[in-house]
Amino acid sequence: MQNHKKYNIAIVGASGFTGSELARLLNSHPEVSIKHITSESHEGKKFSDLHPQFLGIIDQTLVSAQVIKNADLDIIFLALPHGISMDFVKTLSEQKAKIIDLSGDFRLESPEVYEAWYQKPHIFPEGFKHAVYGLPELHAEKIKGSQLIANPGCYPTASILSLAPMAALNLIETDSVIIDAKSGLTGAGIKASETTHFSHVNENFKAYGVGTHRHTVEIEEQLGLLSNNSTRIQFTPHLLPVDRGILATAYAKPKGAMDQKKLKGIYENFYADKPFVRIRKTAPGIKDVRGSHYCDIFPFWDERTNRIISISAIDNLLKGAASQAVHNMNLMLGLEEQTGLQQIPLRP
């Protein structure tokens, strides 16, 4: 069998959890070659100096992101914080390389909405005209032809997928949605803070961003697009004392008659050709998807309260970030969408 040319990719921003998970997935991806991994604060060090699990596996030297401007690349992953990514997208927008941005800088419908929720001006509003929201289960065809992907947030991925089948059929009351979600500590990023200090997190459990979390509007926009109706949700995130994983429990009132058989059928039909969504017979836990690209969903009809309860579980660093970015890359490059993403969940 002849060797074929691999696609050249770069990861901009290597120091965080998402950058390291991207490298782990892409290192074993059969169709790509990691040409550059960048870090401004660790330039000159080896990638394995930052992430010892890669010793002897990925030892390449970290370079400045300036190298990217003149590199021959097919895909650039931006594993950068929001507010910083937009500057790179603006600078790189003239290049032939396709960009997958893992920050929140282009996820929303307009720069005005972004500025209202992220409390900072957007320096590249033109990017919103071309950015595609990178949730493959909903937007695969648009993703295939895109030059700029806004990789979804981790909470929105779990939340949107939990209710997408019902929203797409316009079967839920759009002002009845409540989403109660919990995330592992890695969702807060690699930099420690008072909130993420071990003594605050260990044996503790708390809500945060009550009524104000910026992922709220991201979920509202996507569910609203599906139903073609303005959607208002109540979203409350919580911090779990675990490394990784998200569990989202969504509640909604249905339009019209509903029962368990009908509800399950709606979900199974909607996700029938989506290989990474699994419809469960029982409520999933975060260990059921840990280390994988799966989203497990349990749709439940509560006859007593006349309410749909949909419980979803993902790995926040993978389906909620890095593996979703690789899924988007596969679609953008015309590859089989499951390529390099068939890791079996780690349990226990």
Same domain, yes or no: 186 and 228:
yes
Same domain, yes or no: 231 and 325:
no
Closest CA to 196 of 157, 243, 247: 243
| Residue at 1 is within a domain | no
Per-residue pLDDT tens for 310-337?
999 999 999 999 999 999 999 999 999 9
Phi, psi for 11 (deg, rounded to 5):
-115, 115
Helices (H), 126-259: 127-130, 136-144, 154-168, 198-201, 215-227
Same domain, yes or no: 46 and 121:
yes
Per-residue pLDDT tens for 11-22?
999 889 999 999
| Residue at 343 is within a domain | no
Same domain, yes or no: 229 and 171:
yes
Give ∠ CA 81-289-312 in degrees, rounded to 5. 80
Give the active site residues.
154
The letter for the amino acid at 207 is A
| Residue at 79 is within a domain | yes
Same domain, yes or no: 141 and 163:
no
Same domain, yes or no: 232 and 304:
yes
The CA distance from 147 to 332, in Å, is 8
Contact 131, 149 (CB under 8 A): yes
Same domain, yes or no: 171 and 308:
yes
Question: For the chain, what is the domain count?
Answer: 2
Per-residue pLDDT tens for 47-69?
999 999 999 999 999 999 999 99
pLDDT band at 198; cut points 50, 70, 90: confident
| Residue at 287 is within a domain | yes
The CA distance from 25 to 343, in Å, is 9
Which residue do the tokens 């910026």 mark?
214
Q: 250: domain range?
A: 155-314
pTM: 0.96
What is 283-343 written as a DSSP string? ---GGGTTTSS-EEEEEEEETTTTEEEEEEEE-TTTTTTHHHHHHHHHHHTT--TTTT--P
Query: Tell me, what CATH number does 261's domain have?
Result: 3.30.360.10
Residue 20: Cβ within 10 Å count:
22
Contact 126, 314 (CB under 8 A): no
Chain centroid to CA 308: how far? 24
Same domain, yes or no: 133 and 165:
no
Same domain, yes or no: 46 and 13:
yes
Query: Tell me, what CATH number does 28's domain have?
Result: 3.40.50.720
Helix (H, G, I), strand (E, B) or coil at 160: helix
Strand order in the sheet with 75-78: 32-38, 7-12, 75-78, 98-101, 148-150, 132-133
Same domain, yes or no: 161 and 140:
no
pLDDT value of residue 3: 59
Same domain, yes or no: 64 and 116:
yes
Same domain, yes or no: 284 and 166:
yes
